[in-house]
């Protein structure tokens, strides 16, 4: 049985997207390695805040029916550079029950393991659902601060939390909470500003793609993001916070009845700007930062199914995700979004079977050697096709039909292709300098 301190994957407790022939041997191997990672490694593998992706990677491989040997190989490829967590201090853990003491250690990676142990103890007493409602979704100052931190680090804490919820693993949820606690909260003015602005607006919400188009047209945002350092914190939020707030505040969900379609819309829009941010003269590459927007989308389908999470919090969580995505699009320089690059893409290895069109892409990505970003991207795209299908006749869903499979081919072809694997900040010319030129025949 999975607990706050024990990882145990069980056949039958299926995630949002999975391949049906998962074997017990894979569940056992993944569980054992996830447990080892849980006990032995910090959530950051260095002192610069680079994330340990082992949990994401192994859970994704497991869901894609990877064999035990494939799971083991990918773990071995990534375990050598992980570092151990700092020793816990029992008096600090006990003191965290006091909100003022809980707050004292926020944003300090030194205390990851202390927060982990604290949240595990809380889950043992109250259950993980109650802990999430109390520490993330209560709506008080402490919970709102934690919710902001969930969106820090390019969505890594909420991705980690999402894996825990989707795969029914309280220990992974505890890791996600502790990870959020040691991230920062400088993005708070964007979320707060948008929520305050929404209270005085009566007009219907704009669609996400309309707001992406508006963001693209606001040239001052791309200019503000053209800085060294963090392009949101040190760029957009330094000079254009209000401009960004005015745009993202136009996105609102008026009723919980909209949640299913709005979740699909968010997923579709994330796939659109992640896949369409290309350069016609360069090899196909996904922007590293945009990729996290589509990779995290799958968990919002999982959040919708949680009966312990209130409708109001489901609405708020999705609104924040969309607003974060639009701000992240702006922060990479608002690149042109070339939909025809997706529609007209010619795969390196065209799909040979129509009965299982994703099969060959998934088999390739299970063998691709990275830290899990590639496999997460393919799984999220395959899931996106499923949930968007009922709505693809709508104008605000720009990714339609076979374009999902095209994106899957683009994803695997691009990561298997020439280095670098990803483009970073696709709206700026400098980001493409090391990307291979596209053959003239394709121009």
Three-state DSSP string of 286-331: CEHHHHHHHHCHHHHHHHHCCCCCCHHHHHHHHHHHHHHHHHHHHH
Position 288 in a domain: no
Regarding whether 369 and 354 lie in a shared domain, the answer is: yes
Per the domain annotation, does 410 fall within a domain?
yes
Both 327 and 352 in one domain: the answer is no
145 shares its domain with 174: yes
The reply to whether 74 and 37 lie within a common domain is yes
Do residues 54 and 95 share a domain? no
- Residue 327 and residue 201 share a domain: yes
54 and 132 assigned to the same domain: no
* Residue 314 within any structural domain of the chain: yes
Beta strands per DSSP E along 89-151:
none
Separation of alpha carbons 405 and 213, rounded Å: 24
**Nearest one of 407, 392, 405 to 351, comparing CA atoms:** 405
**Residue 252's domain spans which residues?**
188-271+310-331
- Which of 159, 181, 203 lies at the terminal end of a domain, its last residue? 181
- Judge if 98 and 176 occupy the same domain: yes
The residue out of 140, 158, 181 marking a domain boundary is 181
Residue 73 lies in a domain: yes
How far apart CA 46 and CA 49 sit, in angstroms, is 6
Do 122 and 176 sit in the same domain of this protein? yes
Looking at the structure, do residues 38 and 173 belong to the same domain, yes or no? Answer: no
Q: Is the dihedral of CA 416, 420, 424, 428 positive or negative?
A: negative
**pLDDT by 10s per residue, the chain, length 443:** 999 999 999 999 999 999 999 999 999 999 999 999 999 999 999 988 899 999 999 999 999 999 999 999 999 999 999 999 999 999 999 999 999 999 999 999 999 999 999 999 999 999 999 999 999 999 999 999 999 999 999 999 999 999 999 999 999 999 999 999 999 999 999 999 999 999 877 789 999 999 999 999 999 999 999 999 999 999 999 999 999 999 999 999 999 999 999 999 999 999 999 999 999 999 999 999 999 999 999 999 999 999 999 999 999 999 999 999 999 999 999 999 999 999 999 999 998 767 799 999 999 999 999 999 999 999 999 999 999 999 999 999 999 999 999 999 999 999 999 999 999 999 999 999 999 999 865 65
Q: Could you tell me if 69 and 142 lie in one domain?
A: no
The structural domain count of the chain equals 4
Whether the CB-CB separation of 416 and 364 falls below 8 Å is answered with yes
Same-domain check for residues 197 and 68: no
How far out from the chain centre does Cα 215 lie?
21
């Amino acid at each position: 049985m999975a607990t706050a301190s024990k990882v145990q994957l069980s056949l039958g407790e299926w995630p949002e997207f999975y391949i049906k022939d998962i074997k017990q041997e894979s569940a056992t191997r993944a569980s054992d390695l996830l447990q080892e990672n849980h006990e032995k490694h910090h959530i950051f593998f260095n002192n610069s805040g680079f994330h340990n992706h082992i949990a994401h990677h192994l859970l994704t491989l497991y869901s894609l029916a990877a064999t035990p040997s494939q799971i083991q190989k990918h773990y071995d490829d990534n375990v050598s550079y992980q570092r151990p967590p700092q020793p816990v201090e029992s008096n600090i853990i006990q003191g965290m029950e006091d909100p003022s003491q809980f707050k004292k250690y926020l944003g300090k990676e030194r205390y990851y393991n202390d927060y982990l142990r604290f949240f595990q103890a809380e889950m043992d007493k109250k259950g993980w659902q109650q802990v999430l409602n109390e520490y993330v979704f209560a709506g008080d100052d402490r919970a709102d601060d934690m919710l902001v931190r969930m969106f820090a680090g390019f969505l890594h804490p909420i991705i980690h939390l999402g894996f825990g919820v989707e795969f029914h693993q309280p220990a992974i949820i505890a890791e996600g909470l502790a990870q959020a606690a040691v991230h920062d909260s400088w993005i708070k003015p964007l979320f707060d500003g948008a929520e305050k602005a929404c209270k005085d607006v009566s007009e219907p919400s704009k669609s996400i793609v309309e707001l992406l188009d508006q963001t693209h047209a606001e040239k001052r945002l791309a200019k503000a993001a053209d800085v060294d350092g963090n392009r949101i914190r040190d760029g957009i939020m330094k000079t254009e916070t209000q401009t960004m707030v005015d745009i993202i505040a136009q996105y609102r969900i008026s009723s919980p009845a909209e949640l299913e379609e709005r979740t699909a819309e968010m997923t579709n829009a994330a796939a659109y700007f992640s896949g369409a941010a290309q350069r016609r003269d360069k090899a196909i590459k996904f922007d590293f930062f945009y990729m996290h927007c589509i990779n995290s989308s799958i968990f919002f389908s999982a959040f919708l199914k949680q009966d312990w999470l209130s409708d109001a919090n489901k609405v708020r969580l999705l609104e924040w995700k969309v607003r974060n995505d639009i701000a992240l699009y702006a922060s990479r320089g608002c690149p042109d979004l070339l939909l025809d690059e997706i529609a007209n893409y010619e795969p390196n290895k065209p799909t040979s079977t129509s009965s299982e069109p994703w099969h060959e892409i998934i088999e390739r990505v299970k063998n691709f050697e990275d830290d899990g970003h590639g496999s997460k991207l393919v799984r999220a795209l395959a899931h996106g096709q499923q949930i968007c299908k009922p709505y693809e006749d709508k104008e605000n869903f720009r990714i339609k039909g076979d374009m999902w499979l095209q994106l899957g081919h683009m994803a695997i072809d691009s990561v298997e292709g020439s280095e670098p694997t990803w483009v970073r900040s696709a709206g700026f010319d400098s980001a493409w300098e090391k990307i291979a030129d596209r053959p003239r025949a394709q121009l």
